Amino acid sequence: MAEQAVSPMMQQYFEIKKQHPNEILFYRVGDFYEMFYDDALTASRELELTLTGKNCGKEERAPMCGVPFHSYETYVARLIAKGYKVAICEQMEDPALAKGLVKRDIIRVVTPGTVIESSMLAEDKNNYLCSIYCKRRRGHWRAGICFADISTGEARATELNAEKIGGAIITELCRYMPSEILICPPMLDFKDVTGYIKQHTSALVELREEACYKDALLESTMAGQFGPEWRTTLGYDEDALVPYAVAALLNYLQETQKHGLERIKTVDNYADAQYMRLSPVTRANLELTETMRGREKRGTLLWVLDKTETSMGKRLLRSWIEQPLVDAEAINARLSAVQALYTANIARADLKEALSHVFDIERLTTRILYGSATPREVKALGDTCARLPEVKTQASACGAPLLTQLADQIDPLDDLLQKITTALVDDPPATLKDGGAIRAGYNSEVDELRDIMHGGKGYLANLETKLREETGIPKLKIGFNKVFGYYIEVSRSYTDSVPDSFTRKQTLTTGERYITPELKELENKILGANERLLVLEHQLFADLLSEISAQIVRIQRTALAVAQLDVLAGFAEVALQNNYVLPVVDQSGVIEIKEGRHPVIEQMLKGTLFVPNDTLLDEGENRMLLITGPNMAGKSTYMRQNALIALMAQIGCFVPAASAHIGVVDAIFTRVGASDDLAAGQSTFMVEMTEVAEILRHASKNSLVILDEIGRGTSTFDGMSIARAVVEYICDNIGCKTLFATHYHELTSMDQDIYGVKNYNIAVKKRGEDITFLRRIVAGPADDSYGIEVAKLAGLPSSVTKRAHAVLRQLEASAPGRNQTMQLDFETVEAYNNPSVPSEVVDKLHSVDIETLTPLEALNFLYELKNVLDKD
């Protein structure tokens, strides 16, 4: 079969696709976005679309599929979620008016980090695009890193200058969790960073070429965005690396978004030392914003604290939880504001009521700037403006300095409210497609066109009456057909009375048909009114969007103040509902909590009494609490709740306790639970030791460290030795406040050897072979391990637990005077290499594979060793 000539439309498609080979091209054809060839194959597979074909001048038909243009966002969102980019190719002129081929062009490339559509974004979470630039200077690596959410206009950046630059970059990525990351070529050598991104995030990584970081491009980009004095304006010196990251991000946005960069007005430069350091492991273990298993909000600290009313407040709350403060003055400013709202019940209720009617003006403003906002969304901005005076008044009424400051930052935006109210109808349509958004009286031409459209027959009736009077023809009538349009019909008996201004168009057996200039003008008005009205409404609406966009700085400042008020009011509300107290926060280095509770578990167990516990940690005698007790007794809950209480205090929130004194901690480190990292080929023990190594390397005197069951992943001797060495290192070299849970009862003797170590245990009530966990932490070491009792609670068959008790009694009887827990102490460990130990015992110990022994085999093996020793 001979090949046909490629159609002009497909030639146009090939030219545009050539410019965007790595994106799925949504090619507008009439009321659909069409996809061809590989794009069609991919889209049909990922979106479950029916695949068809099209003759494109090639021997084989081109695979083809499409989606309706009015609902394309849903399909784009699904592709973006799967890691694809989508290039939107739009018709740039009205096909009805186009001469020849309709002009088309790419209006935008949608990527995970550049989404602005509300239907494609989570309302309670920022969507960050990240840019990283690193360079080796004077013998060590430095990095500039920028995070921007173009849906809100927020841009934040910091310079990293750490010994372990990879770890510092990961910490920042973990803080913001971007959906897309731009990296420079040297970043490919940072295997720890790229490995973290690949294994622990779903972010799309975009490698930018070296040319994107040239000095000339940097200067032109930054000057174009922030003005010629950009270094002074933003506070960057000549040596700073952050500008390279910012410029690369701006250039990428220019490539993909084509316009709208003016949304980013400034860059907020922060130092990583401004915020508490929280490693990825710590964030996961404390379940701050998502649970470890289900990755849900329910069951997290965010879930407990979220009493916000606005989408902006929800995003800011998440940000505060991810970035606790370390400046006591800033923390106490927040706490004072919460205290004022807590006591002012009426003002707080009125404030929350006003906030409940505030829309997401951050993201609305971005859509307005991009020209993609709907009339209903613009009306929502107006409705929000109407509520701002009440928000401002109630915030001022509470009196706290921070609340007064935030109230002052709220601009009532009266002028915008006036513009929107004057321009738009009370209930505007969801889209501007069919018009009907512009209010009557706003534009005289719109009013006239509507009158013509809705009153066209009235105009004709009036003209008919007028012509009858002027001509004296009583039966003159105005009619319409598709051939001539509107016409004047006069019966044959009155043709002599027709004035010269009438032009004859058609002769009938019963009379004549005429037209007049006035009638043709009216016809043009009636027939073209709808089309002209739609064009005019679009233009007036676009003008309104431009006027609003010009006030973007005022709107952004107001939105941020409103969001902060929302979070602070939410903190006051949650404190009232959950019986939280105002903590004392200072730089004392003391953590003293009376009757502390776990904020999440007590909400998950509503209706069940949560047993509170006290905690005292300081920089002296109580630097490390060594906690013993059986599994399931509540050690992990206790340790986590103290970390969460410290974190809550440092975000400016009241805490679940009878009283709390929190000396600011600069970081929280946790090593909790056991988990294999099979993807990286690491065993439980390897993961555990890696995490412990990170803690020992990065913790400072002002950090809070939580360690649970260190050394459990290896043999008893090795594990016990490592655990003791870690305790000694923390106490001797770091001096940080530490909660250390262990099953190695032998470690409890360290309170005699090491200054700052105190023993605590979880109280247990025992009746025969049954136990009850009292959930109360008390001073002193645990007196037993209760392993068999815990196994019974866990559901082991009674026959097994009875047999275990029998074996245990037999072992205890054959080892008089020994510790009932049958655990080896450090003297026994030292005897392991003592020549006085019989060689047969040593040989047996060397030959056994401890990792493969079942509990029963281990007991039998221990019994064999005892028999050998007894024979000797």
Residues in binding site: 629-636
Shared-domain flag, residues 573 and 591: no
From the CB of residue 806, how many other CB atoms can be counted at a distance below 10 Å? 10
Per the structure block, which two tokens stand in for 176?
């913001």
Shared-domain flag, residues 623 and 510: no
Shared-domain flag, residues 15 and 72: yes
Shared-domain flag, residues 617 and 664: yes
CA dihedral 583, 586, 591, 596 (to 10 degrees): 10
Q: Is residue 398 part of a domain?
A: yes
Our count of domains for the chain comes to 6
Q: Classify 535 as helix, strand or coil.
A: helix
Q: Is residue 427 part of a domain?
A: no
Contact partners, residue 128, CB within 8 Å, separation at least 6: 113, 147, 148, 149, 176, 177, 178, 179
Cα-to-chain-centroid distance, residue 566? 18
From the CB of residue 589, how many other CB atoms can be counted at a distance below 10 Å? 18
Q: Is residue 301 part of a domain?
A: no
- Among candidate residues 523, 542, 561, the one where a domain is terminated: 542
Q: Which helix (H) or strand (E) holds 67?
A: strand 62-68
The phi, psi pair for 627, rounded to 5°, reads -110, 125
* Per-residue pLDDT at 773 exceeds 90: no
Shared-domain flag, residues 686 and 744: yes
| Beta strand extents in 715-817 (DSSP E only) | 737-741, 757-767, 770-779
Q: Is residue 629 part of a domain?
A: yes
Shared-domain flag, residues 610 and 742: yes
Cα-trace Rg, the chain: 37
What band does 528 get if pLDDT is binned at 50, 70 and 90?
confident
**What does the DSSP assignment read for 808-865?**
HHHHHHTSTTS-TT----HHHHHHTT-TTS-HHHHHHHHH--GGG--HHHHHHHHHHH
* Distance in angstroms (rounded) separating the CA atoms of residues 575 and 206: 43
Residue pLDDT, tens place only, 683-717: 677 777 888 888 998 899 999 999 988 876 666 67
* Distance in angstroms (rounded) separating the CA atoms of residues 815 and 819: 9
From the CB of residue 21, how many other CB atoms can be counted at a distance below 10 Å? 9
Q: Which of 269-278, 307-316, 635-644 has the lowest mean pLDDT?
A: 269-278
Q: Classify 52 as helix, strand or coil.
A: strand
Q: Is residue 287 part of a domain?
A: no
Q: Is residue 354 part of a domain?
A: yes
Of the candidates 662, 737, 735, the one whose C-alpha atom is nearest the C-alpha of residue 326 is: 662
Residue pLDDT, tens place only, 89-114: 999 887 777 778 889 999 999 999 99
User: What's the average model confidence in pLDDT over 65-83?
Assistant: 91
* Distance in angstroms (rounded) separating the CA atoms of residues 720 and 701: 25
Residue pLDDT, tens place only, 727-739: 999 999 999 999 9
Shared-domain flag, residues 570 and 592: no
Q: In what side-by-side order are the strands of the sheet with 62-68? A: 52-54, 62-68, 32-36, 24-29, 86-91, 104-110
* Distance in angstroms (rounded) separating the CA atoms of residues 580 and 551: 40
* Per-residue pLDDT at 869 exceeds 60: yes
What are the helix (H) ranges across 91-241? 165-176, 191-200, 215-226, 230-234
Q: Which of 27-36, 190-199, 297-306 has the lowest mean pLDDT?
A: 190-199
Contact partners, residue 88, CB within 8 Å, separation at least 6: 26, 28, 33, 72, 76, 106, 107, 108, 109, 110
Q: What's the domain range around 70? A: 8-110
Q: Which of 120-134, 446-460, 805-819 has the lowest mean pLDDT?
A: 805-819
CA dihedral 93, 96, 102, 108 (to 10 degrees): 40
> In angstroms, what CA-CA distances link 674 with 294, 353, 485, 641?
17, 46, 83, 19
| Residues facing 72 on adjacent strands | none
What band does 795 get if pLDDT is binned at 50, 70 and 90?
low
Per the structure block, which two tokens stand in for 550?
């010009």
Q: Is residue 404 part of a domain?
A: yes
What is the average pLDDT score of the chain?
86
Of the candidates 169, 166, 125, 174, the one whose C-alpha atom is nearest the C-alpha of residue 281 is: 174
Shared-domain flag, residues 725 and 772: yes
User: What's the average model confidence in pLDDT over 656-666?
Assistant: 97
Shared-domain flag, residues 601 and 733: yes
60-68: Cβ within 8 A, 24+ apart: 62/10, 62/36, 62/37, 63/36, 63/37, 64/34, 64/35, 64/36, 64/40, 65/34, 65/35, 65/40, 66/29, 66/32, 66/33, 66/34, 66/35, 67/26, 67/32, 67/33, 68/31, 68/32, 68/33
DSSP 106: E
- Among candidate residues 222, 253, 274, the one where a domain is terminated: 274
CB 569 within 8 A of CB 355: yes
Shared-domain flag, residues 139 and 238: yes
Helices (H) and strands (E) in the chain, counts: 30, 27
- Among candidate residues 752, 785, 818, the one where a domain is terminated: 785
Shared-domain flag, residues 130 and 247: yes
CA dihedral 845, 850, 855, 861 (to 10 degrees): -20
User: What's the average model confidence in pLDDT over 523-541?
Assistant: 86
Shared-domain flag, residues 620 and 759: yes
* Per-residue pLDDT at 678 exceeds 60: no
* Distance in angstroms (rounded) separating the CA atoms of residues 705 and 452: 76
CB 315 within 8 A of CB 125: yes
CATH number for 12: 3.40.1170.10
Contact partners, residue 687, CB within 8 Å, separation at least 6: 674, 675, 676, 677
Q: Is residue 1 part of a domain?
A: no
User: What's the average model confidence in pLDDT over 108-122?
Assistant: 90
CATH number for 206: 3.30.420.110
* Per-residue pLDDT at 827 exceeds 50: no
Q: Which of 92-101, 126-135, 393-402, 515-524 has the lowest mean pLDDT?
A: 92-101
From the CB of residue 760, how many other CB atoms can be counted at a distance below 10 Å? 25
* Distance in angstroms (rounded) separating the CA atoms of residues 506 and 488: 10
Residues in binding site for ATP: 629-636
User: What's the average model confidence in pLDDT over 652-672?
Assistant: 95
* Distance in angstroms (rounded) separating the CA atoms of residues 531 and 234: 48
Q: Which residue has the tokens 């559901």?
A: 795
**Is 674 buried (19+), middle (13-18) or exposed (0-12) by CB count in 10 A?**
middle
CATH number for 572: 1.10.1420.10
Residue pLDDT, tens place only, 721-768: 888 889 999 999 999 999 999 877 778 888 888 999 999 988 777 665
User: What's the average model confidence in pLDDT over 361-386?
Assistant: 93
